[in-house]
Every structure is written in structure tokens, then in C-alpha cells.
Amino acid sequence: MNIRSSIELNNKSVEEINLTGVYFESSTETSHKFGGWPEIRIIPIKYVLEWYNSLNVGLKIKAENNIERTLFSILYFSHDTYAGYNPTLIVWIIQALESFYGIKSNDSIIKTLKNRISLHLGQTPQPKKVNKKINEFYDYRSKFVHGDMEIMRLGGDKFLRKDYIDDYIDDYIDDYNLKLIDLCDFGVTLVISSIQKMITIDAKSMEFNETVNYK
């Protein structure tokens, strides 16, 4: 479902709100690529609404806990008009993941995230493939936020195709976009599956505790 709506402010200006459901559509296919993990469920809307209403998010402007931060982050990466073509989407998807799993800045981020995903969603049948994809996901984010990533000119996918009859240009644009879309699909599938697990077990929050047993 894609949502296109407008809000009139003070009888003067109109602000558009555009939300795309493209990631929710692609999550099932992404799950199949990794042997059905993470699981993507079909949940009746009734139960989703009951769970969401139980969170008492209401009309909050600022998120106050991990679940709310996750849900608000989803709105940001689902708002992108060119879903899949904007590198900033990676940042918002990681914001959603790290918020959900309670990752702090002083944690060993990737290792902690992998462990907590396994605890919450269960073991993947393709651990090497999943670990590699998570590493690629964070490597992409790191290159973007630290200025090491190749950046395509804004609108390049629209104009360069028209200006140049060059297979190299077309191939570069396609490879650039497809890699970004692939990583976004993977990250969002983790986010969706993680939230769906909470809905199915009717949980509003979770905590991870490390323990040691001496014998």
C-alpha cells in the first residue's frame, strides 16, 4: 500500500505526506533468498492495530523508547520518493535496527547486533551469507557517513541515460542502484521481521542480559 496525502496548515500551505510500501512488498522475496530467514509473516490487521494501540504512541512528536524510535525511523525511510535510490536510507534503516535492539554507541555494534538478532529471530540456516550481508550493510553505511563512498550525481539516473549513448554509463547506474536497493531490502526485512515477532508474541519491549555461570 502506498499512501499519498496532503495536510492543509492554517488554511494557507499544504504539506504532502508520501509513504511507500515497496519495502514491505519486497521483504518476502528477500526472506526467501536467505532460506526463509528472517521469517516474514502475514498478520491480520486487527492484531497489528491492537498491538500498536497498546504501545500508546498516540500523537507523540518525539520517540521516548526503543520501539517508538524504530517505528518513527520506519516512517523516514518509507517516506523517500525514490525508495531504494538514496544512500541516506541506509542510515535510517540502521537507526531503526539499532534502536530496536537497544544498541548503544559504546557497544561492539556489529557483533552485538548479530547476537541479538539471532536471539530474537532465531538462527539463520545460512549464517555465512547473512553475516556477510550484515557486514556489507555496515560497510556501506561507514563509507557514506565518512565520505569514502562513490556518490552519483543527483538525478544522474534520469539525465545521463538521455545524454550519453554509452553502455558503461547505463551499467554503472544500474549496478549503483541495484546494490543500494539490495542492501536496503535486506535491512528493512530484518526490521519488519523483528517487529512482527513482537506483534505475534504480544510484547511491547525487550531487554538483553549477559550472564556468566561459574562451575
pTM of the model: 0.88
pLDDT value of position 114 = 95
| C-beta of residue 122 within 8 angstroms of C-beta of residue 194 | no
Counting residues of the chain whose pLDDT is more than 70, the rounded percentage is 87
pLDDT value of position 84 = 55
Counting residues of the chain whose pLDDT is more than 90, the rounded percentage is 60
pLDDT value of position 35 = 93
pLDDT tens column, 13-32: 777 778 888 888 899 999 99
Higher pLDDT: 165 or 19? It is: 19
